[in-house]
Amino acid sequence: MDIRYSANQRDVKRYTTEELRDEFLITGLYKANEVVAVYSHVDRMVTLGCMPTTEKVSIDKGIDCWKNFGTHYFLERREIGIFNIGGEGTITADGQTFKMGYKDCLYITKGTKEVYFESTDAEKPAKFYMVSAPAHTSYTTTFIPIEKAAKRPCGEAETSNKRTINQFIHPDVLKTCQLSMGMTVLEPGSVWNTMPSHTHERRMEIYMYFEVPGDNVVFHMMGEPTETRHIIMKNEEAVISPSWSIHSGAGTSNYTFIWAMGGENMEFDDMDTMKPNEMK
């Protein structure tokens, strides 16, 4: 497991491009029959990827739960949200099996001992993208297909940010301890994922960009509002955004991204926005 320690905004001002990428960028999430995990000390969030091909893969594969978390199994004191961004597959959680189509989501509650991933077709494997947060109590493991997500159209074509926010793991959809996750889909001709930019001091956030076509990229914006930086991101890469950092980005094409948030506050609209002309 790759472990990332917290970085403060004063030091980040002096980071080189390489240091910035090493600290916040997450790459190589999908390796055949493996679980890739990055543990961030920013709100103790864990970002994971699993691409089962010829095997039934356990979530514990490659993770030493006792060494990394001091627990007997991964979800002993954690909850997790999982999206499938690949071919059809299944997830089995403590004996319950869930068929996962493209862009479907599964929330698995604290205390679930066994989680397994499989692909329906090894030639078209599922790609399970996951974010896990610490949890203090158990709720209900819940499957949320893309059709059942709460949809919030927003933005305008004139400002290049017409998009639909799909809320999956969200207070308006189901109860969780602190984890919120959703998927934002930008329409053709739109490239800005969040504008005006915002921070939320009470929550951190992780973005995972996908459906980035061909050789296109996304310029993910971060840093304090008057000390902005950017990380150039490719398809199916994720990025950690601490609470003090802006959350925003623009691509060279339209794309889709999955957002995940953790922290005390679960009010989706509780954010501090800033005008573009006030940023530096």
Mean pLDDT taken over the chain: 92
CB 132 within 8 A of CB 65: no
Is 200 labelled as part of a ligand binding site?
yes
Q: How far apart are CA 32 and CA 23, in angstroms?
A: 25
Is 136 labelled as part of a ligand binding site?
no
Domain edges within the chain: 2-278
pLDDT band at 260 (very low <50, low <70, confident <90, very high): very high
CB 106 within 8 A of CB 100: yes
The backbone torsions φ and ψ at residue 186, rounded to the nearest 5 degrees and listed phi first, read -90, 140
State the pLDDT at residue 167. Answer: 94
Largest CA distance in the chain: 53
Cα angle 33, 34, 36; round to 5: 150
Q: How far apart are CA 99 and CA 143, in angstroms?
A: 9
Is 170 labelled as part of a ligand binding site?
no
Identity of residue 134: P
Is 220 labelled as part of a ligand binding site?
no
Identity of residue 167: Q
CATH number belonging to the domain at 2-278, selected among 2.60.120.10, 3.30.1330.10, 2.40.37.10, 2.30.40.10 = 2.60.120.10
- The Cβ of residue 46 has, within 10 Å, a number of other Cβ atoms equal to 22
Handedness of CA 205, 48, 255, 9 (dihedral sign): positive
pLDDT band at 265 (very low <50, low <70, confident <90, very high): low
CB 250 within 8 A of CB 193: yes
Q: Residue range 60-80: average pLDDT? A: 91
Handedness of CA 30, 34, 38, 44 (dihedral sign): positive
Q: Is pLDDT of 268 > 60?
A: no
